[in-house]
Chains A and B, each alone.
Chain A
Amino acid sequence: MKHLACAVTAACLASTMAVAGGHAKSVTLGIALGFTGPAESLAEPMARGAELAIKEVNASGALLDNATISIVRADSTCVDAAAAAAAAERLVSSERVDSIIGGLCSGATISMLQNVAMPKGVVLFSPSATSPALSTLEDNGFFFRASPSDARQGQVISEILMEKGHRSIAMTYTNNDYGKGLADSIQTNFVAAGGKVTINTPHEDGKGDYGAEVGALAQAGGDILVVVGYLDQGGKGIIQSALDAGAFDQFFLPDAMIGDSLVQAIGPDLNGAIGSVPGTDSDGATTFAKLATADGFESGPYSPESYDAAALTLLAMQAANSKDPKVFKDKVFDVANAPGEKIFPGELGKALTILKNGGEIDYVGATAVELIGGGESAGSYREILIKDGQITTVRYR
């Protein structure tokens, strides 16, 4: 019913607005990322990723009626919801952007969506927000993300655990939105699959001693300890303590625990630990990395996703033959998913031509993006195994 209602409203809006936005000579895209704040080191490579897609489209000259795209950057911060909303407001009201790529962190993204994008009717396409809350939040179809929800990661983790034959797990999470969201998702999926979670308890980051926490985990027991923490913080402390006390010798490491620094800090005792991290084996990822190097920057976490977010926005405009967000938002799914010709990074010009001629495309991009649900990446994950002090890939799922 909800879908029908959406479709009807969208169709009505489309019929009234199509005339206004149809033949555009110029398109303005806003890039609102957390250029300042705790994730600032990620922001620059992400912005460059998005701008790479835009440059490519500009060079092709095939968008709409040979439209050129201009870029406006804005600082959505990471933890300041008010600053994020103000940045989005500026983009929409004074810069008159047609669409926004952003934000970086989940909290800032939610603020931009609820305060600006949804009420003003502008598409917000986040490369990196992973909070499960964004899947269910009312967005009138104006929100997309090129990253998977942590709800999906919980499902993947549960599957991996089940396949490895673990039927009872002990779990501890870092006490914040990320940790709690992911831990709850793992618990729900794992219990639904018939497993048993003996304990699901928070830990605080930045403590010197995790002996007491590990004591409680050890008493609850379990085949494996799932540590939903940060690799340079409490997560490392928990693992070290658990090994010291001989409480657990099998560990599961979700995305924020994967890194060489953990392997180095713990040493050979970590061998045999399994984990999951977003990733894909598609050729797109390697192609993107090469394009990035040629453009003069190093591809970082979520910069492929940023490229895809920008590319999908522009391809949807082309498919709708309109830069009006209310119109092209309904085309995002069409260009992202099958059927159609597969499109990899560097082939945006070709894709635009196919769409102009009325053909169909299936955008694969840098992250093998496949949109599901309310407009988020299905997410492919890399299942990893720590072997001989190396992080090795088992398979992609």
Chain B
Amino acid sequence: MDLINALTLLGNFLIVPGLTYGSQLALGALGVTLVYSVLRFSNFAHGETMAFGAMLTILVTWGFQHLGISISPLPTALLALPFGIFGTVLFTLFIDRTVYAYHRARKASPIVFLIVSIGVMFVMGGLIRFVIGPNDQVFFDGTRFLLSAREFRQMTGLAEGLAIRMTQVVTVVTAMIIVVALFWFLNHTRTGKSMRAYADNENLALLSGINPQRVVFITWVLVAALATIAGTLYGLDKSFKPFVYMQLLLPIFASAIVGGVGNPVGAIAGGYVIAFSELILTFAYKKVLQYLAPEGVVVDSLMQILGTDYKIAVSFIILVIVLVVRPTGLFQGKTL
């Protein structure tokens, strides 16, 4: 019984949140990795693209809620998501035409692109704050819990509860669908294959008659869609606050690099590695150990490796270790 209680505790505070957070990071890291492999630069504006997509989705969601359209028990935001994606795709293409295309034509070095993307990040950040403001926005509706801690306790008679929120399930399921669809697209369609060819060797791809503009176009469409989905899921599950998305940039880049930048499988694995490391290292194991400890032993300290304030530092440390020890990442991506 004690063992089950301990496992329930871990499930409630580590496994379920870790899977959710990991999926959100993985979707974000996929976007970063796509830009890196096809367009060959580190896109610092990705966090703000997520915020922008989430913002559009929120605005449409509010519209739907106002009109009384809902898909309860699922959150209305899922219905608004395609509209958010569409708007974000248009916006990213606009940015590409006006900003990145100019530098691409001059064959600017990746570092120039990186700095340009930081500029884009600030412009987008300002725009988002201008439209929706810097504050928390609530847009969640539908059923909150699939299984609440109280229900779980009554059901099983355990002392500890396991809560599973609707948004957590929606996040993990959506992430799985998106990942499968993306891999199918990259491996089994002509366009996907041409993208991979272009990423592998640009000159050879051009010689084989691949249209570079089309590849760039498809890449931005995919990136904008991934960013909007990741941003909306994060906002649904946690909270939408524009500033938070800028903070997300570090764990997302860490995920992409840990997995091997430019490698989509790596981006997904990296997302979960970062998410679980952050949680495992900052979790307090007091109660878990108390359940597992032999009779009579009292666990007095919190049994916490790092304070929760150091959560962001964990992804930083992993990033540094990977760059020093294995710069290609876990799954043999490119080196930065």
Q: Which residues of A contact B (CB under 8 A)?
A: 199, 201-204, 206-209, 211-213, 215-216, 218-221, 232, 236-237, 244-247, 265
Contact = CB atoms under 8 A, between A and B. Distances in A.
Contact of A209 (B14, B21, B287): B21
Given A206-B243, A208-B241, A212-B283, A265 B163 contact: no
A213 B239 contact: no
Contacts of A203: 308
Contact of A246 (B17, B149, B285, B309): B149
Contacts of B163: 244-246
Interface string B228-265: 00000010001101011001100000000000000000
Contacts of A236: 136
Contact of B234 (A199, A206, A208, A265): A208
19 contacts: A201-B307, A206-B243, A206-B244, A209-B21, A211-B21, A212-B278, A212-B311, A215-B308, A216-B282, A218-B13, A219-B13, A219-B285, A221-B287, A232-B135, A236-B136, A246-B12, A246-B148, A246-B149, A246-B152
A41 to B, nearest CB: 16
A232 B12 CA distance: 26
A76 to B, nearest CB: 27
A199 B302 contact: yes
B316 to A, nearest CB: 16
B307 A208 contact: no
B244 A220 contact: no
Contacts of A244: 144, 163, 165
A221 B286 CA distance: 9
B79 interface: no
B165 A216 contact: no
B271 to A, nearest CB: 15
A202 B309 contact: yes
A173 to B, nearest CB: 13
Nearest to B160: A246
A245 B12 contact: yes
Contacts of A209: 21, 238-239, 244
Interface string B189-223: 00000000000000000000000000000000000
B304 interface: yes
Given A221-B287, A245-B149, A216 B241 contact: no
A246 B243 contact: no
A215 B283 contact: yes
Interface string B121-164: 00000000000000110100000100011101100000001010
Q: Which of B144, B238, B308 has the largest count of A CB atoms less than 10 A from its CB?
A: B308
Contacts of A245: 12-13, 149, 163
A208 B12 contact: no
Given A206-B243, A212-B308, A220-B284, A246 B13 contact: no
Contacts of B248: 208
Contacts of A218: 13, 287
Given A206-B241, A218-B287, A246-B152, 9 more contacts: A208-B234, A208-B248, A211-B279, A215-B14, A216-B282, A244-B163, A246-B149, A246-B163, A247-B149
Nearest to B148: A246
Contacts of B307: 201, 216
Contact of A219 (B144, B153, B247, B302): B302
Given A246-B12, A246-B148, A215 B138 contact: no
A78 B261 CA distance: 47
A206 B303 CA distance: 27
Contacts of A221: 286-287
B93 to A, nearest CB: 28
A213 B308 contact: yes
Contact of B287 (A199, A204, A211, A219): A219
Contacts of B234: 208
Contacts of B288: 219
Which one of A211, A216, A237 has the highest number of Cβ atoms from chain B below 10 Å of its Cβ? A211
B302 A220 contact: yes
B21 A220 contact: no
A208 B239 contact: yes
A237 B284 contact: no
B150 A246 contact: yes
Contact of B247 (A208, A211, A213, A247): A208
A249 to B, nearest CB: 8
B283 A220 contact: no
A211 B311 CA distance: 11
Pick the most buried of A220, A221, A244: most chain B CB atoms within 10 A of its CB. A244
Contacts of B309: 202, 204
B17 to A, nearest CB: 5
A218 B163 CA distance: 14
A215 B284 CA distance: 7
Contacts of A212: 278-279, 282-283, 308, 311
Contacts of B247: 207-208
Contacts of B241: 206, 208
A-B complex: 6 closest residue pairs judged by Cβ atoms: A246-B149, A208-B244, A219-B284, A246-B161, A212-B308, A215-B13
Contact of A208 (B144, B238, B285, B303): B238
Nearest to B307: A201
B8 to A, nearest CB: 11
A137 B13 CA distance: 44
B289 to A, nearest CB: 9
B308 A216 contact: yes
Which of A199, A206, A245 has the most B CB atoms < 10 Å from its CB?
A245
A199 B308 CA distance: 13
A238 to B, nearest CB: 11
Give the most central of A212, A244, A245, A265: most B CB within 10 Å: A212
A327 to B, nearest CB: 50
Contacts of B136: 232, 236
A42 to B, nearest CB: 19
Contact of A216 (B21, B161, B243, B284): B284
Contacts of B144: 244
Contacts of A220: 284, 286, 302
Contacts of B150: 246
A207 B287 contact: no
Contacts of A208: 234, 238-239, 241, 244, 247-248
Contacts of B239: 208-209, 237
Contacts of B284: 215-216, 219-220
B283 A216 contact: yes
Nearest to B304: A216
Contacts of B12: 245-246
Contacts of B304: 216, 219
